């Protein structure tokens, strides 16, 4: 595989960039693999990469119905963080943060990991206390967290609304300095390129139409490009999990919902951090291109449409202006929607299933992007060892039976209320 | 003063009204009716800005919404707007604009060094480098790249402008007032339909303003004016200019932004800057026209290269010449129309036509006028840096592969026409499955998903006759479907020049040895080589190409670049265009001001504010308020220089010692009636409700079906079939929906009705050992003794002529009553309580004192009932009936919920009896254990116990039942605190609950 | 914005309504002995169909009635609305 560096860039510039190799090949599916990963999104690609790298399992195919990176890894607001209260979440996402820190170098692909700091604003003392519970939990789990007072927040993000004419004044905030952003497409492409170089077949435009299960054991899949056998199969299709589950006669604690995001026109740098509103659901960061990247609420009803409606964005942007009045003069340039697995306690599932050789990775709600490396790493472990790692042991399917729920927000099963 | 590039007596501008404006600090003038772009071109200014990546000089390419690069920083009325399209901004007196994305100025831009190094910056170069050393990306490279990126500058001043929303319903919404829009609007309006006709530009008429056609013995412009005038007078028609329908959403909801005041120096009084229209239309006619496609050749981004239709529009609408020595480069007949207009005004253009021998009426006319036409000719490259000075042209072979000898032609502008792309954005947003039309090499709408019909050139129809015929017909048919009328208007006769087929050729090959950049996306600097590179590297899906190269991702969202990008990909991949497919069209069609989307819900009005009827009294008595959801509640009543801590201590102490009064209006209140209420409550609450007598209240806990506590409160039996439920402030709305759900969906046979009465009642809690004395004086006729009105009793009374409900319930743990009166009597009640309570040393107390009182009593509240706890965790297991079934009961027997070491609420006291424990601290065994340090529980609520005069906290603790007496540490790393504590019972004060019963 | 026909009030815009989830989920009868799996499936498991989906909506800013809507989750097209007791 070609190494990417400033030197290779210069060398290739003088050859008119004619010698660059493909980042990943376009293979024809083989008849059988050791492992098939369904879903060429961030999690699927990462899983294949870690299967090859950490477990030396390279006879692997990634089967993607569209183009790789076309799902939520290419539709999110690129935020990375591990600012969770529950231990299961905190420790899991912190593994992710460790992997993010080295990802560009490990993948030899600049994923533009930018630990610019994420700040959750608090608008009352009660909210400061709720954030303290979370922040203290983070610190006791070895995760960085700082509690900021109003003046400290003002110093860091002066263009927040500190005026009198504000409905919910800012009391302070909880900051994770190492939280930040990364370039979403690059993550998918970087994992794809490395996985491909280690022998993983990336098969695009190949839709799964059925499963071959005999005596409780998975044997293979049926696809739009023919049947493919496999000893083990991992599902990594957040957003479409329920569709595949139906083919397997499984019903899961998941509903599919739509989340919209939008960007403004690019402006000169004004916001150096990721900031979230505490009196609603709005978050904002500025991309390296200058666009303000904004997101918030679900559209609020089951949907596979990848297209939302304006009132939701209006609601989100209302909170946006409440937080950053300067947004008013900017123009909304582009909106888009992604469909996501909303699990019944707001936390994901990475587990074995009742079908031998079939593994499940789903339920990421709207937080899947930051989990990409940790999800791939633990899912690869679960598939390779046929047992869960302690870092994903809590993300079991069985927790919905036993009551060991991981409900970060305490909202319960009404998944559409974010 | 004359303008070098302004023609006399041509155009629709008002030459009587001169307007002065500034661009980059220099003063110019234009006329009313100009855009910033037309005025600048009239003054010979073509250098407007710099491109995104290479900082190449940028001028004007279009004349409207399709403009890819002429964006400026606008100054208006002491405010500034970033990224304003100069081709859309109408000129107003005193307008000031500046170039963006250049430093120190647009003429000399340091960033242009990128252009000379462009070979090192191909598509996606940043993915391949800036990786070493590790921390340099975000410490060095990223800040540098960020500074270079972005266009305009956002002002951090609050926007003083006002934006409004309007909701409208109509039979037909018609998007665009060109020939197709006018015809369908006219036909539908005449047939009685309620029509909204929206036009993006200030002037109605679309292409009729610039085309040489004749409709019903009038020229196109006159016909358009006549139709518009008539439509404006019809009561069933709304005609809006400066209004862009930008989004087509579900169920025929479309959204339009109207620029009400953007064209004026400042917004008129009581008038919004912009207005957002939510329009629900029964039928939508998309008449959005088409956008001319660029031809791709070397340096085709040089200022002075413009779309041929834009050149024609500048000439015919604004009387402005984009150049005096034009070269017209076309692959179809449209270029000739522009050439003819130039020639008519004494300008001699040269036409380069990629076709070898086209034959049509338009070409014949151009020939007759003596215009220099070169067939089978192409432009290889534009020459000139900040403005076109000449062009390299050459003959091209029939197969378009071989170029002849390169010739140099002087010119000061190049007008390009690569044929037309229907504007299908709205159709595609609606869910329409677009299809590729090979004849026009573009996508057109296909099968509709919603009630929409596309007409005219947006549908790929490029003759006026056909356009008018079909548009009149569509307008009639659609209106007939709705109004059932059948009034048909006759279709006027049309005279237009026939054109012939276009050439599919659009991208000029590079001659041997030449390395000109041929741009597809002008703003983002995406060149042919970038797309080639992306494909070479395996980014083959059109979405990968887009994301890797950023093609079509600029502020114009690819209006002029997307189709050429598709054609290029299909050429290289040897696929037909529909196989490549287009990227998704998403709203908005053109960028929309965020302020307009939000409307009036800003500042203090971003969310509603709810106030109790005693709010003014609280304000007058120095209450410091706290947000409780959208309610404002007194947190404490400040006396002198008191701090929150001092005041709440004083207020709480007074409740324990004397008597206090607290505004509890915000509690949710639900009126419940019907013969089956007892049975219903018995299913809703965890405890037994079948035997609650009239005149008694009971405390209850309700669960979600997953066993988690949803809410708690009291319900009182007012009469046989009438109950009054209270909920927490936070859960009021949820509880009502919850009750309605079970009544209407799950148990419809229960004869019960519920209605919210939160707003109808004002409530005051009177608490403290002297509360009975106060109550007796308030209600002298009522026996308020412990026997007459026992704990959890209820009576109705007359409060100095006002009907009142009196509940003997307590949250503070003291002897207490809650008095409710109708809301409009709330203040009266409050003042009476204060007046009568005076002799008993009554004081009002706020939520902070209320918290103190409930915490030291061990009463759980929102910080314990946090959506994650079950009754046991809150020591409410005594209220869980073992006998009957209720909502969520089945979940309580799950493994985690019955674990021996299940978490439970406990009390926490610091060993030193001095150090307050911050809320949100965690309890651990070993304060110095290595991380991750196992947490046993968290401190949910803290107070200063006024009973014992030391800090006291509640905590939810693992195995809480067996932890009483244990010594632990409360850690708050955020506050750098480690406090040795002892675990005690959560019922710190009056554990037997004697006071409430006293 | 969806346009929803409340069976009691007629066509209204979505902002008057609150969503209420899968209407095919039925609560087990009170006091009935059921398997753990039946309970779990009532509380947590959802088919989350792509295509026609029968769901509950609540006219919170109107008549406050719950009702059923048959809607396509991939196109958002609404086919039918019903009172709670009615079935397709």
CB C75 within 8 A of CB C14: no
Which chains contact B through at least 3 pairs of Cβ atoms less than 8 Å apart? A, C
Which chains contact C through at least 3 pairs of Cβ atoms less than 8 Å apart? A, B
DSSP symbol at B412? S
User: Where does residue B475 rank: exposed (0-12), middle (13-18), buried (19+ CB within 10 A)?
Assistant: buried
Give the residue among B810, B923, B937, B941 at the shortest CA–CA distance from B873: B937
How far, in Å, are A25, A35, A71, A213 from residue A222 at the CA level?
22, 14, 21, 11
For A176-201, what is the mean pLDDT? 98
How far, in Å, are A187, B133, B246, B499 from residue B130 at the CA level?
15, 8, 39, 53
CB A382 within 8 A of CB A351: yes
DSSP symbol at A85? S
Q: What stretches of B227-376 adopt beta strand conformation (E)?
A: 237-240, 243-249, 253-259, 274-286, 290-292, 305-307, 326-330, 350-353, 372-375
C20 vs B252, B741, B891: nearest CB: B741
Chain C residue numbers touching B741 (CB-CB < 8 A) = 20, 56, 58, 66
For B492-502, what is the mean pLDDT? 95
Residue A201: pLDDT band (50, 70, 90) is: very high
> Is the pLDDT assigned to residue B638 strictly greater than 60?
yes
Chain C residue numbers touching A255 (CB-CB < 8 A) = 21-22, 46, 48
DSSP symbol at B137? I
Residues 6+ apart with CB under 8 A from B893: none
> Is the pLDDT assigned to residue A101 strictly greater than 80?
yes
The position carrying tokens 């329920």 is: A242
> Is the pLDDT assigned to residue B672 strictly greater than 90?
yes
**CA B65 to chain centroid:** 21
SS3 B877: helix
Residue B951: pLDDT band (50, 70, 90) is: very high
Q: What stretches of A177-291 adopt beta strand conformation (E)?
A: 180-181, 201-203, 208-214, 217-223, 226-235, 254-264, 274-276, 283-286
**CATH for B898-998, options being 3.30.530.20, 3.40.228.10, 3.50.50.60, 2.40.30.110:** 2.40.30.110
> Is the pLDDT assigned to residue B1 strictly greater than 60?
no
Residue A418: pLDDT band (50, 70, 90) is: low
Nearest-angstrom CA–CA distance, B413 and A272: 42
* CATH fold of the domain at B163-290+422-495: FAD/NAD(P)-binding domain (3.50.50)
The position carrying tokens 């010119």 is: B411
On average, the pLDDT of chain B sits at 96
CB-based contact (8 Å) between A402 and chain B? yes
For B888-908, what is the mean pLDDT? 97
**Mutation target among B137, B594, B595, B898 for the A interface, most CBs of A within 10 A:** B594
CB-based contact (8 Å) between A149 and chain B? no
The residues pairing with B442 across neighbouring beta strands, listed in sequence order, are: B437
Nearest-angstrom CA–CA distance, A274 and A285: 5
Chain A residue numbers touching C37 (CB-CB < 8 A) = 401
CATH number of B294-418: 3.50.50.60
Phi, psi of A263 (to 5 degrees): -125, 155
Give the residue among B932, B879, B935 at the shortest CA–CA distance from B903: B935
Min distance B610 CA to chain C CA atoms (Å): 17
Half-sphere exposure of A140 (CA within 13 A, CB side): 34
pLDDT at B144: 86
pLDDT at B627: 94
DSSP string, B184-243: HHHHHHHTT--EEEE-SSSSS-GGGGT---EETTEEHHHHHHHHHHHHHH-TTEEEESSE
SS3 B604: helix
> Is the pLDDT assigned to residue B2 strictly greater than 80?
no
Q: What residues does each domain of chain B span?
A: 14-125, 163-290+422-495, 294-418, 516-597, 898-998
Give the residue among A292, A284, A265, A318 at the shortest CA–CA distance from B165: A318
* Radius of gyration from C-alpha coordinates of chain A: 21
Equal CATH topology for B14-125 and B516-597: no
- β-pair type (B305-307, B413-417): parallel
Which chains contact A through at least 3 pairs of Cβ atoms less than 8 Å apart? B, C
Give the residue among B563, B57, B557, B582 at the shortest CA–CA distance from B295: B563
Is it true that domain C1-26+53-88 has CATH number 3.30.2270.10?
yes
pLDDT at A6: 93
Give the residue among A355, A352, A353, A351 at the shortest CA–CA distance from A215: A355
CB-based contact (8 Å) between B587 and chain A? yes
The position carrying tokens 């958002």 is: C76
CB-based contact (8 Å) between A412 and chain C? no
SS3 A63: strand
pLDDT at B504: 95
pLDDT in tens, B378-415: 999 999 999 999 999 999 999 999 999 999 999 999 99
SS3 B449: coil
CB-based contact (8 Å) between B629 and chain A? no
Chain A residue numbers touching C15 (CB-CB < 8 A) = 311
User: Which residue blocks in B729-841 are alpha helix, DSSP H?
Assistant: 732-741, 771-778, 826-837
pLDDT in tens, B141-171: 998 888 888 899 999 999 999 999 999 999 9
Asked if B592 lies within 8 A of A332 by C-beta distance, the reply is yes
Residue B582: pLDDT band (50, 70, 90) is: confident
How many other CB atoms are there within 10 angstroms of residue B198's CB atom?
27
Q: With the C-alpha atoms ordered A4, A10, A13, A15, is the resulting torsion angle positive or negative?
A: negative
Nearest-angstrom CA–CA distance, A36 and A49: 12
pLDDT in tens, C30-85: 999 999 999 999 999 999 999 999 999 999 999 999 999 999 999 999 999 999 99
> Is the pLDDT assigned to residue B834 strictly greater than 90?
yes
- CATH class for the region spanning B14-125: alpha beta
Min distance B629 CA to chain A CA atoms (Å): 9
Asked if A242 lies within 8 A of C1 by C-beta distance, the reply is no
Percent of chain B beyond pLDDT 70? 100
CATH superfamily of B516-597: BFD-like [2Fe-2S]-binding domain (1.10.10.1100)
The pair of structure tokens assigned to B892 is: 């309580």
How many other CB atoms are there within 10 angstroms of residue B485's CB atom?
14
User: Which residue blocks in B559-620 are alpha helix, DSSP H?
Assistant: 562-573, 577-580, 594-598, 615-620
The pair of structure tokens assigned to A241 is: 């999990």
CB-based contact (8 Å) between C50 and chain A? yes
Nearest-angstrom CA–CA distance, B10 and B136: 58
> Is the pLDDT assigned to residue B793 strictly greater than 90?
yes
CB B729 within 8 A of CB B667: yes
CB B497 within 8 A of CB B362: yes
CB B220 within 8 A of CB B213: yes
CB-based contact (8 Å) between B898 and chain C? no
pLDDT at B52: 86
pLDDT in tens, A331-389: 999 999 999 999 999 999 999 999 999 999 999 998 899 999 999 999 999 999 999 99
Q: Is the peptide bond before B932 cis (omega within 30 degrees of 0)?
A: yes
User: Where does residue C87 rank: exposed (0-12), middle (13-18), buried (19+ CB within 10 A)?
Assistant: exposed
Alpha-carbon torsion angle A80, A81, A86, A92, nearest 10: 60
Q: Which residue on chain A is closest to B82 by alpha carbon?
A: A330
Give the residue among B301, B289, B311, B240 at the shortest CA–CA distance from B118: B301
How far, in Å, are A53, A154, B595 from residue A146 at the CA level?
35, 15, 33
SS3 A109: coil
Nearest-angstrom CA–CA distance, B178 and B456: 9
Min distance A67 CA to chain B CA atoms (Å): 7
The residues pairing with B286 across neighbouring beta strands, listed in sequence order, are: B175, B454
Asked if C46 lies within 8 A of A252 by C-beta distance, the reply is yes
Nearest-angstrom CA–CA distance, B294 and B416: 6
pLDDT in tens, B506-544: 999 999 999 999 999 999 999 999 999 999 999 999 999
pLDDT in tens, A261-296: 999 999 999 999 999 999 999 999 999 999 999 999
Q: What stretches of B511-666 adopt beta strand conformation (E)?
A: 519-521, 526-527, 592-593, 623-628, 631-637, 659-663
Residues 6+ apart with CB under 8 A from B148: B111, B114
- β-pair type (B163-175, B274-286): parallel
Q: State the Cα angle at B485 between B480 and B491, rounded to 5°.
A: 70
């Amino acid at each position: 595989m070609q190494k990417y560096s400033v030197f290779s860039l210069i060398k290739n510039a003088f050859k008119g960039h004619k010698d660059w190799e493909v980042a990943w090949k376009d293979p024809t599916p083989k008849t059988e693999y050791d492992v098939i990963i369904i879903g060429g999104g961030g999690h699927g690609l990462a899983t294949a990469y870690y299967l090859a790298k950490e477990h030396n399992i390279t006879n692997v195919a990634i089967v993607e119905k569209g183009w790789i990176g076309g799902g939520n890894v290419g539709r999110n607001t690129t935020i990375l963080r591990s600012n969770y209260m529950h231990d299961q979440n905190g420790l899991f996402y912190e593994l992710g943060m460790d992997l993010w820190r080295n990802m560009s170098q490990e993948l030899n692909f600049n994923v533009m990991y930018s630990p610019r700091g994420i700040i959750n604003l608090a608008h009352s003392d009660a909210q400061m206390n709720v954030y303290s519970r979370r922040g203290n939990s983070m610190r006791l789990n070895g995760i960085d967290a700082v509690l900021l007072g109003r003046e400290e927040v003002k110093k860091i993000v002066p263009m927040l609304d500190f005026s009198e004419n504000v409905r919910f004044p800012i009391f302070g905030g909880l900051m994770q300095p190492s939280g930040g952003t990364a370039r979403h497409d690059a993550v998918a492409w970087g994992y794809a390129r490395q996985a491909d170089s280690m022998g993983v077949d990336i098969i695009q435009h190949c839709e799964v139409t059925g499963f071959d299960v005999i005596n409780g054991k998975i044997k293979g899949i049926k696809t739009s490009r023919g049947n493919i056998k496999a000893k083990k199969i991992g599902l990594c299709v957040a957003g479409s999990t329920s569709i595949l589950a139906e083919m397997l006669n499984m019903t899961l604690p998941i509903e599919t919902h739509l989340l919209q995001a939008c960007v403004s026109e690019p402006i000169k740098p004004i916001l150096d951090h990721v900031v979230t509103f505490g009196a609603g659901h709005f978050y904002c960061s500025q991309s390296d291109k200058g666009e303000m990247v904004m997101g918030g609420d679900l559209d609020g009803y089951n949907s596979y449409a990848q297209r939302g409606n304006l009132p939701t964005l209006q609601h989100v942007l209302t909170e946006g202006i409440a937080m950053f009045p300067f947004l008013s003069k900017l123009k909304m340039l582009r909106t888009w929607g992604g469909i996501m697995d909303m699990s019944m306690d707001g936390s994901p599932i990475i587990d074995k299933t009742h079908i031998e050789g079939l593994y499940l990775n789903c339920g990421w709600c709207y937080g899947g992007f930051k989990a990409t490396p940790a999800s791939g790493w633990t899912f690869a472990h679960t598939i390779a060892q046929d047992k869960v790692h302690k870092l994903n042991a809590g993300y079991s399917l069985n927790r919905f039976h036993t009551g060991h729920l991981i409900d970060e927000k305490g909202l319960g099963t009404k998944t559409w209320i974010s | 003063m004359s303008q070098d590039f302004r023609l006399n007596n041509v155009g629709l501008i008002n030459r009587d009204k001169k307007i002065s404006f500034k661009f980059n600090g220099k003063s110019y003038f234009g006329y009313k009716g100009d855009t910033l772009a037309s005025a600048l071109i009239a003054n010979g200014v073509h250098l407007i800005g710099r491109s995104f990546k290479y900082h190449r000089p940028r001028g004007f390419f279009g004349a409207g919404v399709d403009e890819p690069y002429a964006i400026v920083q606008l100054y208006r009325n002491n405010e500034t707007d970033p990224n304003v399209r100069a081709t859309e901004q109408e000129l107003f007196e005193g307008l000031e604009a500046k170039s963006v994305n250049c430093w120190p100025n647009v003429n000399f831009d340091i960033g242009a060094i990128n252009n000379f190094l462009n070979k090192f910056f191909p598509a996606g170069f940043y993915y391949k480098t800036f990786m070493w050393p590790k921390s340099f990306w975000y410490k060095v490279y990223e800040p540098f790249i960020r500074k270079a990126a972005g266009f305009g500058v956002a002002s951090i001043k609050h926007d003083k402008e006002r934006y409004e929303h309007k909701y409208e319903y109509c039979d037909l919404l018609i998007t665009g007032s060109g020939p197709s829009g006018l015809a369908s609007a006219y036909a539908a309006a005449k047939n009685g339909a309620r029509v909204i006709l929206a036009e993006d530009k200030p002037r109605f008429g679309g292409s009729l303003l610039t085309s040489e056609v004749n409709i019903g013995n009038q020229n196109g412009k006159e016909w358009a004016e006549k139709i518009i005038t008539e439509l404006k007078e019809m009561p069933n028609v709304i005609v809006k200019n400066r209004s862009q329908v930008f989004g087509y959403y579900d169920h025929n909801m479309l959204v339009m932004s109207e620029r009400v005041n953007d064209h004026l120096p400042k917004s008129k009084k009581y008038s919004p800057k912009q207005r957002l229209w939510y329009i629900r239309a029964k039928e939508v006619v998309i008449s959005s026209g088409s956008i001319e496609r660029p031809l791709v050749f070397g340096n085709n981004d040089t200022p002075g290269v413009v779309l041929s239709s834009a050149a024609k529009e500048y000439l015919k609408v604004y009387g402005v010449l984009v150049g005096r020595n034009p070269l017209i480069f076309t692959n179809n007949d449209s270029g000739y129309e522009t050439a003819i207009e130039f020639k008519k005004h004494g300008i001699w253009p040269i036409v380069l036509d990629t076709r070898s021998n086209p034959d049509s009426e338009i070409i014949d006319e151009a020939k007759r006028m003596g215009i220099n036409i070169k067939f089978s000719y192409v432009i290889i490259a534009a020459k000139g840096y900040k403005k076109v000075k000449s062009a390299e042209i050459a003959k091209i072979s029939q197969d378009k592969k071989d170029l002849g000898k390169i010739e140099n032609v002087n010119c000061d502008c190049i007008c390009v026409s690569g044929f037309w792309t229907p504007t299908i954005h709205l159709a595609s947003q609606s869910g329409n499955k677009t299809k590729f039309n090979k004849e026009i090499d573009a996508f057109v709408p296909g099968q509709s998903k919603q009630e929409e019909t596309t007409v005219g050139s947006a549908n790929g129809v490029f003759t006026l006759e056909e356009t008018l015929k079909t548009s009149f017909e569509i307008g009639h048919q659609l209106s007939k479907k709705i109004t059932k009328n059948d009034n048909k208007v006759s279709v006027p006769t049309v005279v237009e020049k026939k054109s012939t087929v276009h050439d599919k050729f659009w991208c000029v090959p590079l001659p041997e040895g030449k390395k000109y950049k041929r741009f597809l996306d002008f703003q983002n600097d995406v060149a042919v080589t970038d797309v080639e590179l992306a494909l070479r590297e395996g980014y083959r899906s059109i979405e990968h190409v887009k994301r890797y190269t950023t093609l079509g991702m600029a502020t114009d969202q690819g209006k002029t670049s997307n189709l050429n990008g598709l054609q290029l990909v299909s050429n290289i991949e040897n696929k037909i265009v529909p196989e490549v497919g287009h990227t998704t069209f998403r709203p908005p069609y053109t960028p929309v001001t965020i302020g307009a989307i939000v409307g009036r819900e800003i500042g203090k009005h971003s969310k509603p504010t709810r106030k109790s009827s005693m709010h003014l009294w609280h304000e007058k008595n120095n209450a410091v308020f706290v947000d409780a959801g959208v309610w404002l509640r007194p947190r404490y009543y400040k006396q002198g220089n008191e701090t929150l801590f001092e005041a709440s201590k004083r207020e709480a102490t007074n409740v324990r010692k004397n008597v206090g009064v607290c505004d509890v209006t915000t509690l949710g209140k639900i009126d419940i009636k019907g013969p089956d209420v007892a049975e219903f409550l018995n299913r809703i609450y965890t405890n037994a409700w079948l035997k609650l007598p009239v005149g008694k209240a009971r405390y209850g806990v309700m669960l979600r079906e997953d066993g988690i506590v949803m809410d708690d409160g009291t319900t009182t039996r007012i009469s046989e079939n009438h109950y009054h439920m209270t909920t927490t402030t936070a859960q009021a709305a949820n509880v009502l929906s919850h009750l309605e759900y079970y009544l209407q969906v799950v148990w419809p046979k229960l004869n019960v009705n519920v209605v919210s009465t939160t707003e109808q009642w004002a409530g005051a809690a009177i608490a403290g050992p002297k509360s009975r004395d106060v109550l007796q004086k308030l209600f002298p006729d009522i026996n308020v003794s412990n026997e007459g009105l026992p704990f959890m009793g209820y009576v109705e009374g007359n409060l100095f002529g006002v009907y009142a409900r009196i509940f003997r319930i307590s949250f503070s743990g003291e002897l207490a009553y809650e008095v409710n009166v109708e809301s409009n009597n709330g203040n009266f009640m409050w003042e009476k309580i204060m007046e009568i309570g005076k002799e008993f040393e009554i004081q009002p107390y706020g939520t902070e004192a209320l918290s103190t009182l409930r915490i030291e009593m061990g009463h759980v509240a929102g910080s314990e009932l946090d959506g994650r706890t079950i009754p046991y965790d809150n020591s409410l297991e005594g209220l869980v009936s073992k006998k009957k079934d209720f909502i969520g009961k089945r979940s309580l027997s799950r493994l985690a919920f019955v674990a021996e070491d299940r978490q439970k609420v406990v009390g926490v006291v610091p060993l030193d009896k001095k150090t307050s424990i911050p809320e949100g601290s965690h309890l651990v065994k070993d304060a110095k254990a290595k991380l991750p340090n196992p947490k046993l529980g968290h401190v949910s609520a803290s107070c200063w116990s006024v009973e014992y005069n030391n800090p006291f906290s509640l905590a939810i603790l693992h195995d809480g039942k067996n932890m009483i007496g244990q010594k632990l540490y409360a850690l708050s790393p955020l506050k750098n605190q480690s406090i040795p504590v002892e675990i005690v019972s959560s019922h710190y004060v009056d554990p037997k609950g004697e006071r409430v019963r006293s | 914005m969806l346009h929803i026909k409340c069976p009691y009030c007629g066509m209204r815009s979505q902002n008057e309504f609150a969503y209420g989830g899968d209407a095919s989920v039925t609560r087990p009868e009170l006091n009935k002995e059921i398997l753990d799996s039946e309970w779990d499936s009532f509380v947590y498991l959802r088919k989350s169909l792509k295509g026609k989906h029968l769901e509950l909506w609540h006219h919170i800013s109107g008549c406050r009635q719950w009702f059923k809507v048959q809607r396509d989750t991939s196109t958002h097209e609404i086919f039918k609305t019903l009172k709670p007791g009615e079935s397709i």
